[in-house]
Chain A
Amino acid sequence: MALLDVKGLQVHYETRDGLVRAVDGVDFALREGESLGLAGESGCGKTTAALAIMGLLPKNGKIASGSIQYAGYDLAKFSDSQLRGFRWKHISIIFQGAMNALNPVRRVGDQIAEPIILHDKVEKDAAMLRVWDLLELVGIPRERAREYPHEFSGGMRQRVMIAMALACNPKIVIADEPVTALDVMIQAQILELLERLKRELKLSMILISHDLSVMAETCDTMAIMYAGKTVETGSVRDIFKQPNHPYTKDLIAAFPDIEGPPNLPAYIPGLLPSLIEPPPGCRFHTRCKYAWQRCIDEEPPLLPVADGHASACHLNTSEPPNR
């Protein structure tokens, strides 16, 4: 039984140029104590999906259809006030880019204390006790609670964001590109910290990234997204060892191999299609080297290809015509 089950999620943005189908049929499930990686190119709807789960979509965005099942509730149908009490206590988020997610004129400790004060209805002094524990949990000396964000390095700020996400003991933490702006050494430290916290606090985690190596290191299962759709889901092992969808294969091939021959990695020609007028049929057919007529006529459903491994490609259900 999945802890969080997202089915057929569609999120639309109303813009001047038309309706943007940023997320257009996304399915994934997160089991308790598991870590799910949400991977895909920039602009494929990863962050939008995360914001939809949190109920934090901007004013012009709304959940058009689909369900987000969590512990018997459908979060997609929650009202604003229900969501406000729910967020952070059950699901919290580590925002993309810790540089901007901290208020520059407020003490770091006060900012971590804010959700505790708001949700647990305690005095600030009492909340600070917990803030210090949280800081030490993420490897920051408690004395630094009094400092301001500009006195912290990038990695430290990311740790602060993690401490803040844990402030109210959530079940699920969504980490949106948690290491993207950091250098590789710090990336490793932060990922290790997330791993440890997940283990010690029995958290379930959704990790959003475009970096497959990050996923390989930290996740149990993965969902690959393309142009607002889930194209393949499965365990990390399945996806890396037996990728099924042509997009997944290309994505993995585009990653430099440290043991392979010293040439430039492959890339996927073409651009991510417009999400205002997505191509008919399979979204990937414009860039897919296997595409044939059926891919333009018919949208492939996400079907199981092995135990716990699903893919949305016509190659799995029919033979391509001989060329």
Chain B
Amino acid sequence: MISPVPSPPIPKGARPSLDGTTTSPLRMRARMILERGGVFWRVFRQSRLGVIGLLILLGFLVVALSAPALAAAGILRDPFLINEDSQGRILNYLGPTESFPLGTDQVGRDLLSRMWFGSQYTLLIGIIASVISMGLGTSVGLLAGYAGGWIDEVLMRVTDFFLVLPTLVLALILAVTLPPPGVVDLWKLIFVIGISLWASTARLVRSQVLTIKERQFVLRAQAIGAGHGRIIARHIFPNAFSLVFAEAILTIAVAILTESFLAFIGLAPADTITWGNILQAALAHDALEQGLVWWVVMPGLLIVGLVYGFTLLGYALDELFNPRLRRR
């Protein structure tokens, strides 16, 4: 009873190609991504601050990635190694010397190596915490905005609860109370930071979804038989993605700050090297009173620099993607 097919039925396992020959879909896709990337870069390049942020971040990335190679080449020391002189005395509380450019800490570990390797942990914690936070915030926002009604109401009241508590206080409470109590390892730290930061993302995504779901292509998707999951995943989320991406970059900055704060008050795992940890050790052992200025100043500068890089890039992307800030 269906009218005649205007084209022959689709053979099973057939692969399409535009000119009759077989173009590798991978190569086609790669070319497309390059083209679109080029367009994006041309627009992005006009934001000077964004480019500066990107350069700062690339610098930190080079530092983080080069650490193992530099250590293997003997330029950096093992950051956990307790250095001793030829008589077996521990070389602790050293100021900058030729072999220890930034000095050593309270147990005689090389500070330059520790800070160099610390960039790895700091970046890792910031990025993973941001991903957790985005995942949770985006899911809650999508669900609340799309479902509406009592689901929206319940989810948004939960979000409000997380939103009104100051981030640092919340992270502090979670770090102390989550089981196992009193023990903070790397993954618990990341989890705690991620959980403390998702609420504003949920709000942002929800408000976006509320406008997107009223657009006609959502009704069309419903008409062609797409289920709720498909509509959310294929039609609504892609429209909110750019905003979430910009938010993710900004959240990395906040996550790094939160991590530094938690480390600074002694809630970071002792076996991970983060700049917050180094700073905490410096203050706990009266580095300033001993004239060990670089022990205090360097980790602080590094934290500020990295956070600044992410913030600049995040704001530049936000300006590009956020319809309310766009001036094109």
A residues contacting B by CB (< 8 A) are: 54, 56, 71, 84-85, 87-90, 92-93, 95, 97, 100-106, 114-115, 118-120, 122-123, 125-130, 132-134, 137, 142-143, 146, 164, 166-167, 169-171, 200-203
Contact = CB atoms under 8 A, between A and B. Distances in A.
A142 B7 CA distance: 14
Interface string B206-230: 0000000001110111111110001
By secondary structure, the B interface counts as loop
Given A56-B223, A114-B221, A126 B13 contact: yes
Contact of A166 (B6, B12, B16, B225): B6
Contacts of A143: 18
B216 A146 contact: no
B224 A88 contact: yes
Contacts of B220: 95, 101-102, 164
B219 A118 contact: no
B16 A137 contact: no
A166 B7 CA distance: 11
B1 A142 contact: no
Interface of B: 1-7, 10-16, 18, 25, 32, 215-217, 219-226, 230, 234-235, 238-239, 241
Given A125-B15, A132-B16, A202 B224 contact: no
Nearest to B29: A146
Contacts of B2: 89-90, 169-171
A100 B16 CA distance: 29
Contact of A126 (B4, B10, B225, B226): B10
A130 B8 CA distance: 8
Contacts of B221: 103, 114
B59 to A, nearest CB: 32
A4 B223 CA distance: 19
Contact of A130 (B7, B235, B239): B7
B210 to A, nearest CB: 15
A133 B7 contact: yes
Nearest to B36: A148
Nearest to A102: B217
Nearest to A94: B220
B6 A137 contact: yes
A87 B220 CA distance: 11
A87 B223 contact: yes
Contacts of B238: 103, 105-106
A100 B224 contact: no
Contact of B223 (A93, A125, A134): A93
A71 B6 contact: no
Nearest to B237: A105
Contact of A88 (B4, B5, B223, B230): B223
B215 A119 contact: no
Contacts of B226: 114, 118
Contact of B239 (A95, A103, A134, A137): A103
B235 A103 contact: yes
Given A106-B234, A127-B10, 7 more contacts: A88-B223, A114-B234, A125-B25, A126-B16, A137-B7, A143-B18, A169-B3
A143 B13 CA distance: 21
Contacts of B25: 125
Contacts of B7: 129-130, 133-134, 137
A169 B9 CA distance: 11
Contact of B16 (A56, A106, A125, A170): A125
Nearest to B148: A59
A128 B17 CA distance: 9
B8 to A, nearest CB: 9
